[in-house]
Amino acid sequence: MPDARTRLVASRPAATRYAETLHALSRDITSIEGRVERLAVYPVKALGAAEAPALRVTPLGLVEPATGLADRAAMLVLLRSGEQEGQAFDGLALTNRLEGALSLARGRIEGARVVYEAPGVESCSIGSADLAPRDGPTLRALMWGGGPILEGVPVDGPLTTFVRALLRAHPRRARRFDPDSVVAVVPPTRFRRGLAPHTGERAGAQTLYSDGGSFLVASSSTLAWMNDDLRKGGERAIDMMAFRPNVVLDGLPPNTEDIIGALDVAGPEGNVPIEFASFSIRCDATRVDLGTGDKPDRQPLAWLARERPPREDDGSTATFAINAVAAREGVGRSLRVGDAFRVRAERP
């Protein structure tokens, strides 16, 4: 069976620049070292990142330790009922893929809370109790792309008020819904969700409202490699946070993350082994200009579909960054900005 490098190059034969980056790598990548450059959580799935100096690894993914807020702990639901394959749902998961204005909300850690701010809207302060799982009547929300139907308990209060105000303050011609039909939800206390099928059962890991693994890992050099080519073609550069990663690594040659099987981060409480599970499929959310909330062009999706490989298991076209899982022995330990990492294994 061909190795990962050979398969990836063959999957996009016209992507010669991509092939060059893999051919330039050493045959043994386990000597590659680097550092953690950025860390972020997205307590509310559709809103902007809250960057942090450290994150704690839990069975559900990453948690910001000062606030106790988990990544993708809440999501927004557009109340619009329907049916998929015989299963009824009460609403659609609303993300910046469908509503770019949500990207204007930026998170800031302030003591034990995260403060969301957006132009023209009064700020919103959220604590861990506001987004904690709870009992109560649930809504069934259809995830994007015909994904699973997940349950959530509606939470009235500052978060829903903030989101509705944000949508009113930044109207879109293409919007076909009333902002008052949007509600924030958190998981019911009985909520249990394994990882997406393409990620596989890894160390008993679960997740909340993410789309892939327990968390998302990206490489700063791959972004720079892409943006360099976009600029040469007269296109705009793409901000790393348009891809919504939790962990950004510095020190990998471009596209090396595609062939990594596992790496180890030297965290303060001990080693955090991270398994690289699958490519992250990219959607229209990446097209949103984070400064305006608009989608000014087809980038980066058009470029990714031409210059990078599809995901191997289903041929999905545009990919960037890696769905990842922390091995069981890393649970309870922390990742910090500046921590060293070392590649441990290549994908077979």
Distance CA(333)–CA(327), nearest Å, equals 11
Name the burial class of residue 126, with classes exposed (0-12), middle (13-18) and buried (19+) by CB atoms within 10 angstroms of its CB: buried
Length of the chain: 348
Q: Given a cut of 90, is residue 321 above it in pLDDT? A: yes
* Residue 56 pLDDT: 97
* Residue 346 pLDDT: 96
pLDDT in tens, 171-214: 987 788 999 999 999 999 988 776 665 555 555 667 888 877 78
Distance CA(133)–CA(129), nearest Å, equals 9
Segment 261-275 mean pLDDT: 96
Distance CA(222)–CA(228), nearest Å, equals 10
* Residue 301 pLDDT: 97
Looking at the DSSP assignment, which residues form a beta bridge with residue 262? Answer: 275, 345
Residue 233 contacts by C-beta under 8 Å, 6 or more apart in sequence?
none
Kindly list the domain boundaries of the chain, sorted by start residue. 4-346
pLDDT in tens, 39-89: 999 999 999 999 999 999 998 889 999 999 999 999 999 999 999 988 999
Omega before 310 cis (within 30°)?
A: no
Looking at the DSSP assignment, which residues form a beta bridge with residue 74? Answer: 44
CB of 337 closer than 8 Å to CB of 60: no
Cut 0.85: pTM above it:
yes
Per-chain mean pLDDT for the chain: 92
CB of 219 closer than 8 Å to CB of 248: yes
